[in-house]
Structure 1
Amino acid sequence: MTYAILEKQLNYRFSDPDLIAKALTHRSANTDHNERLEFLGDALLGLVIAQALYERFPESSEGDLSRMRANLVNKNALALIANQLALGDLISLGSGESKSGGNKRESILSDAVEAIIAATYLDGGMTACKNLVLLLCEQSLSNVAMQSQLKDSKTRLQEYMQAQGLHLPLYKVVSIDGVAHDQTFRVNCLISLLSQPAQGSGKSKRIAEQQAAEKVLQTLGV
């Protein structure tokens, strides 16, 4: 893994290569580390995601938007992005941190993502920064959109079954494919009105359940 490969993944070429090197330097390795960049990147990430959510979900409340943003910018979400980019191979660590597996630590990986966002802003301005954030978070934003679109499917199905005086739907995970940071869940939804279950799939159990419920509703014509 090289900086050139990373730049290709980011779809951005740094005019100042020292910035990307600094963004990938942990404080254990050098006094010129990435903590200040991480601070700036955290604010920039929050701003870009907030604007994207504001524009994409005009009907959502402030509370809903805040919850969606929190899910998109937390350390776990950023560490997943870092793993997809293989940032752990490029982060400079002190010997002690390196021996203890620091290049796999969630906090270090997520900090590096925020630092790269800030480095891109300082190197190329706000447009470059926004483009990068949207590129890195597009899959997560799409998942949020799907969750928003399908959020009532399980509720609608449950209310329908209750109105008919029938047992509630049964959801069962039938498979989980992929690696830890990029999994696909398949869930069956079984109800007494249908002889065969409907199956949904998605990047989370919740999305798969919602999709399965939606398929049942479509089959029932509800």
Structure 2
Amino acid sequence: MSSGLAPLELRLGHRFAVIDLLERALTHASAVAEAHLGHAASYQRLEFLGDRVLALVIADMLIAAFPDAEEGELARRLTALVRNESCAEVALEIGLGNWIRLGGGEIQSGGRKKAAILGDVCEAVIGALYLDGGLSAARDFIAAHWQARMLNWSGPLRDAKTTLQEWVQGRGLAAPTYEIVERSGPDHAPSFRVAVTIDGMPTVVGAGRSKREAEQKAATAVLVAQGVWRPETHDTH
């Protein structure tokens, strides 16, 4: 596989000294299972590392770009920029799906185009860049693909749960309650469905890769349904 990774290295802007790192970053757990390799042969550990490196670099970029922003605003911007969807978009931009190693089942189900897998692999590649070339290599890649996103982001500066709670309280209602209605998937990649209940309103369910993400999705759905946020950008009226 390593002999075919030169075009990807060019897109990443980094020539790997230890090409095994990049190969591991591209290896899904399904491929590991079929080859009867150890758990550490998949991208999961690199994804864990890359997620933290991405957050650190984006936080540093935000501090420099928005010197007058308060912590809450910086946190909102950071959350939007490091979410899995943003990573998946970057993966699509560089054609990362073409190099992902998948098991037969995942290939048949269109794994190369699945946003969850693309986002995870993008984070794993960032982890590989960090281990092979240090923070500067990871920073160069992140800056190249997140700088414009950072400057052009137009989402709300408050998170959905906070906005919903303030909106509900402003109408004299009790605070929303959140309840997990379903947890599925393996331990390393769980999926949650959370219901939010507000007095006098239909229960709304949101889905996400964590309890917090599912809660935010549910709150967002209520805000959009009530016309508080626009569905396109979630800007407040």
Question: TM-score band (shorter)?
Answer: 0.5 to 0.7
Aligned to 1:142: 151
2:17 corresponds to which of 15, 18, 21: 15
Partners of 1:8 and 1:142 lie apart in 2 by 25
1:5 corresponds to which of 7, 19, 22: 7
Fraction of identical pairs, as percent: 42
**What letter corresponds to residue 151 of structure 2 in structure 1?**
S
Aligned to 2:78: 69
Q: Secondary structure at the match of 1:15?
A: coil
Aligned-pair distance for 1:126? 1.3
TM-score, structure 1 normalization: 0.64
Partners of 1:76 and 1:128 lie apart in 2 by 22
Pairing 1:125-204 to 2, within 5 Å after superposition:
125-144=134-153, 147=154
Partners of 1:99 and 1:57 lie apart in 2 by 45
**What letter corresponds to residue 109 of structure 1 in structure 2?**
L
1:115 corresponds to which of 116, 120, 124: 124
* Structure 1 unaligned spans of 5+: 149-204, 210-222
TM-score, structure 2 normalization: 0.60
Matched, 1:41 2:50: yes
Aligned-pair distance for 1:26? 0.3
Aligned-pair distance for 1:5? 1.4
Aligned-pair distance for 1:8? 1.1
Partners of 1:76 and 1:124 lie apart in 2 by 25
Partners of 2:138 and 2:85 lie apart in 1 by 21
Q: Secondary structure at the match of 1:28?
A: helix
1:50 corresponds to which of 48, 59, 64: 59
Matched, 1:59 2:68: yes
Aligned pair count?
150
Aligned-pair distance for 1:139? 2.1
Aligned-pair distance for 1:136? 2.0
Aligned-pair distance for 1:135? 1.3
Q: Secondary structure at the match of 1:55?
A: helix
Partners of 2:151 and 2:8 lie apart in 1 by 23
Aligned to 1:98: 107
1:18-72 per-residue CA deviation (whole Å, 9 max, x = no partner) reads: 1111100001101310000000000000000011001110111111111101111
* Structure 2 unaligned spans of 5+: 156-231
1:177-200 per-residue CA deviation (whole Å, 9 max, x = no partner) reads: xxxxxxxxxxxxxxxxxxxxxxxx
